[in-house]
Structures are given as structure tokens and as C-alpha cells.
Amino acid sequence: MQAFGSLVAKYQDRIYNMILRMCGRAADAEELTQDTFLRALERIGQFTGRSEFYTWLFRVAANLTISHKRRSMRIRFQTLDPDEARSGTQADSLTAAVAAQRDPPPQAAAMASETRQRVLEALEALDDEFRLVVVLCDVEQMDYAQAADVIGVPVGTVKSRLHRARWALKEKLADLVA
């Protein structure tokens, strides 16, 4: 159990962040992160060691998240509070403290917040299969082979999906990209 605890401690932030970027809601991300580790514990027997453990863990997380999204497709909740996802975390307090120290101009802060919100919305508009590739490759900065391992598709598929996803994002964020 100690070994499992160390795995949780090591990967919880990455898994949580990945799921959050996939599902967009902090509450769901928390729940799905918990489910991911519990599912991993249950199915650890399926981990054969042919792939890296963390890619296997990410695969569990991705499958759970996509299943969750499909289940809740009919009822979608859209947060009106852009900071909802960040509330109550240690990272949040730390970020707030650093931000307070820097004391950026209110205008710049508002712009950064707006940009972030735009990117998140553009990301959310992607279909799950494209969004997952973007999250893995750009947010988690995995290489194509790792992403392919997580998703369970050939590397060529990752390459193709990532290109199409970026293309769609670029179209949506044209004014920011220019």
C-alpha cells in the first residue's frame, strides 16, 4: 500500500491536470482522478510492463474520462466562473501569492485571464479524440509514441489527429495567433 501511495503522490498532479483539461470541471476531475488510481489498483494485474507505467496510468485516466464525458453528454454543465477549476488547491494559493508579489497591471491580468479562457473554450470545442491528443502532446508534452501508447492508436494517427486539432484551434484562436 505504501508503494501505491507513492505512485499516487507522484502522478496525482499530472493525472489531475490531464483530466481537468479533458473534462473542464474541477469536481469531475477530482472524482475521475480518484477513480483512475482506484481502477489502476484494481487492474494492476493487467499492467504487463510492456509500456511505461505512467502511460498505462494515463490510458486508464483517458478511458475513464472519455467514458465519463460520453455518459454526461446529455447534461452539460458549463462553469461561469473561470477560476472554479483552480479554487481550493495548494497550487492556487501559491499562484495567488506569486501573482500578488508580482502585482501585474490589472489590464494585463485581465487579458491573460481572457486569453486563457479563450484557449480553454477552443479546447473544449474539440471532439474528444482530438482533444485528448492535444492534451497529451501539448499540455502533457508527450511525444507521439507515448501519446499513441496511451490512446492505443498508431503513431501516424496521433500525428494526423494532432495536426487536425491544431488546425481547428488555430482557426478558433486566429486573432490571438496572428
Which lies closer to another protein via its Cβ, residue 46 or residue 73? 46
Which lies closer to another protein via its Cβ, residue 10 or residue 76? 10
Of residues 43, 59, 28, 53, the one with CA closest to residue 147: 59
Cell of 161: 489527429
Sign of the torsion angle spanned by Cα atoms 60, 63, 64, 66: positive
Instruction: Measure CA of the first residue to CA of the last residue in the chain; give whole Å.
Output: 51
Positions touching another protein (CB under 8 A) are 1-5, 8-9, 12-13, 15-17, 20-21, 26, 29-30, 33-34, 37-39, 41-47, 85-86, 88-91, 95, 115-116, 119-120, 123, 134, 137-139, 141, 143-144, 159-160, 162-163, 166-167, 169-170, 173, 176-178
Which lies closer to another protein via its Cβ, residue 66 or residue 89? 89
In the complex, the smallest distance separating the C-beta of residue 95 from another protein, rounded to whole angstroms, is 7
Radius of gyration for the alpha carbons in the chain, expressed in angstroms and rounded: 17
